[in-house]
Amino acid sequence: MKKDLEKLKQEFEELIHKVTDRDNLENLKTEFLGRKGKLKNLLQHVATLADEERKVVGKIANEVKEAIEVAYGNKEQEIVGSESSVHAQREWIDITEPGHFNEEGHLHPTSQAIAEISDIFGRIGFSAVRAPEIDWDYYVFESLNMPKDHPARDDWETFFMDIPEAKKGKLVLTPHTSNSQVRHMEEVKPPIRMININRTYRRQIDITHIPMFHQFEGLMIDKDISVTHLKGVLDYFAKAFFGPNRKTRLRPHHFRFTEPSFEVDISCEVCGGDDSGACRLCKGGWVELGGAGMVHPNVLKAGGLDPNVYSGFAFGWGVERTFMMREGIKIDDLRILYKNDLRFVKQF
Ligand code: FA5
């Protein structure tokens, strides 16, 4: 039996040598040390041996069992070690390698311009308001002293909603932001300093016109407001937005809702205001940005204000045109702003 035990130990040691994974290791251990294993099997007649011999065999059996357990333990360590090194190799990361960054978007140039315009006017106390983008004919035209036959009220210029007329007329996709004027006067009493920036719509499309564009409307009303204040505010804006060397010019014009009315020009960034006509961009030193004027007495009345007490000015400029005239922008076709071409948008 001693020999058999020795052989068993040797057999185990030979077999364990070839084992490379946990499952086979466990199976081998069960095969030798399990309840129905080889060692138990070998020792089943030990009780029939004489006392002396039983002690010796029992001692050897314990030594064999211990040796098998030690060999098992060592193998287990070995397998765990090799498993973790395989794992480490598979999962290896180079912490010095530069990471992958998600591309960060940014605001569209028009939105950037809107934020900047609001901020510039905010600094001189103009509070931002938001008049409806779809509004009644009354606020868009009628209350602004525009007669029924005014060309802007024609279907070819303005988008009218296809729904029945109500008390304040048809519903209109606002073709300008001036609908904010009487709306604001109805809500707030002077002194008024407001800026309304919104989307506007017209039936126009070419290199300087788009059907959906943005305007910013400024309105200031108080006692003794004059053209000088208008000029001061516009100059302040031009210098803040375009830079200290730019100037504005008021050119006589006609709007139904202002009297007197002006077109506002900005000195050309390319020639710096050269009036010789040599500049290819502006042909005279100035570029038109929008309209302005002193609020018409009829508009003040529509807003519930007495024109003998109050006066004010208003202006309405295109955001896209204003942005386009910024130093270094050099956009020669306004439509590119809304073509969703990332190569263009990413430049700003
Ligand atoms: C008006 O819309 C007046 N409401 C402006 C105003 C307000 C005058 C307050 C007096 C007092 P006008 O139609 O000129 O004016 O448009 C003003 C500006 O909007 C233009 O100078 C231009 O910058 C911009 N604009 C007009 N139509 C378009 C268009 N289709 N695409 C892009 N910008 C446009």
pLDDT in tens, the chain (348 residues): 788 888 988 998 899 989 989 899 999 999 988 989 888 888 887 888 888 888 888 888 889 889 999 999 999 999 988 888 888 888 888 888 888 888 889 999 999 999 999 999 999 999 999 999 999 999 999 999 998 888 777 766 899 999 999 999 999 999 999 999 999 999 999 999 999 999 999 999 988 889 999 999 999 999 999 999 999 999 999 999 999 888 888 999 999 999 999 999 888 777 777 888 887 767 788 888 899 999 999 999 999 999 999 999 999 999 998 998 887 877 778 899 999 999 999 998
Residue 216 pairs with which residues in a beta bridge? 197, 317
Give the Å distance between the CA of 274 and the centre of ligand 1.
25
| Ligand 1 atom, smallest distance to 295 CA | 11
What is the Cα–Cα distance from 254 to 215, expressed in whole angstroms? 18
Tell me, yes or no, whether 17 and 129 share the same domain: no
Tell me, yes or no, whether 32 and 127 share the same domain: no
Tell me, yes or no, whether 226 and 125 share the same domain: yes
Look-up of token digits 């204040």:
229
Residue 263 pairs with which residues in a beta bridge? 251, 291
Tell me, yes or no, whether 196 and 312 share the same domain: yes
In this structure, the residue with its CA closest to atom 29 of ligand 1 is 209
Give me the phi and psi of 95, to 5 degrees please. -75, -5
Residues with CB under 6 A from ligand 1: 176, 178, 202, 204, 209-210, 213, 215, 217, 255, 258, 288-293, 314-318, 320-321, 334
Give me the phi and psi of 164, to 5 degrees please. -60, 150
DSSP H helices, 166-315, are: 179-187, 227-242, 297-302
Please count the other Cβ atoms lying within 10 Å of the Cβ belonging to residue 109. Answer: 20
Look-up of token digits 């039983």:
54
CA 274 to chain centre: 40
The CATH number assigned to the domain holding 157 equals: 3.30.930.10
Tell me, yes or no, whether 223 and 118 share the same domain: yes
| 3-state SS, residue 267 | strand
Number of domains the chain is built from: 2
Full domain range(s) for residue 42: 2-90
Contact partners, residue 302, CB within 8 Å, separation at least 6: 143, 144, 145, 182, 185
Supply the pLDDT for residue 129: 96
101 in a structural domain: no
Taking the whole predicted model, whether its pTM rises above 0.95 is answered as: no
Tell me, yes or no, whether 163 and 26 share the same domain: no
Tell me, yes or no, whether 199 and 326 share the same domain: yes
Residue whose C-alpha is closest to residue 225's, from 202, 201, 251, 258: 258
Both tokens assigned to 294: 């002193």
What is the Cα–Cα distance from 19 to 10, expressed in whole angstroms? 15
Tell me, yes or no, whether 290 and 217 share the same domain: yes
97 in a structural domain: no
Could you tell me if 300 and 219 are in contact, meaning their C-beta atoms sit under 8 angstroms apart? no
In this structure, the residue with its CA closest to atom 21 of ligand 1 is 290
Tell me, yes or no, whether 181 and 241 share the same domain: yes
Could you tell me if 265 and 249 are in contact, meaning their C-beta atoms sit under 8 angstroms apart? yes
In this structure, the residue with its CA closest to atom 20 of ligand 1 is 290
Radius of gyration of the chain from Cα atoms?
A: 44
